Amino acid sequence: MKLEAMYQEIILDHYRNPHHKGLREPYDTEVHHINPTCGDEVRLRVKLDGAGGDARVVDVSYDSLGCSISQASASVATDLLIGRTVDEGMRIAAEFTALMQSKGEGEPDEDVLEDAVAFAGVSRYPARIKCALLSWMAWKDATAQTLSADPNASMEERVS
């Protein structure tokens, strides 16, 4: 019973048929994030258009090795982030991080998180939270690096 609460059908769908997977050109920054406790890893690229928080997320592409939760989370993240502004993306990332840290008590806003609400059950399992956050952390890092390389971006705008 509890298993199904964690492995929602939405999560298993994204795991079996991940969206936007594969590394693509063009891109501004590529990062490689590893979860040292289990060896899961993601290589993630970001392509932005514009400067600062108003920059548009043109593409997020990735290649990853890991469990169903980390794979599905990467897929869901790209769905939510591509086409948004950086500010919007950072707000979604913050909302998702808060949900993951809610110990199963969070009430996710489906209007903001869409398919990512399915991860609410994961937050009950502390050992799996890092899996769910891996690609989001990679995206935040790649985005911050891209913006800091842009002379028009200010420090305030790239920290969520």
Contacts to another protein by CB under 8 A: 2-3, 6-7, 12, 37-41, 65-69, 125, 128, 131
Burial class (CB in 10 A: 0-12, 13-18, 19+), 44: buried
Cβ of residue 108: shortest distance to another protein, in angstroms?
21
Dist CA 74 CA 62 (whole Å): 8
Strand blocks (E) in the chain: 29-35, 40-49, 56-65
Cβ of residue 29: shortest distance to another protein, in angstroms?
24
Nearer to another protein, 6 or 31 (CB): 6
Nearer to another protein, 16 or 24 (CB): 16
Cβ of residue 68: shortest distance to another protein, in angstroms?
5
Q: Provide the pairing of β-strand 29-35 with 56-65.
A: unpaired
My answer on whether omega of the bond before 18 falls inside 30° of 0, hence cis, is: no
For 3, residues 6+ apart whose C-beta sits below 8 A from its C-beta are none
Nearer to another protein, 86 or 131 (CB): 131
Nearer to another protein, 2 or 25 (CB): 2
Cβ of residue 9: shortest distance to another protein, in angstroms?
12
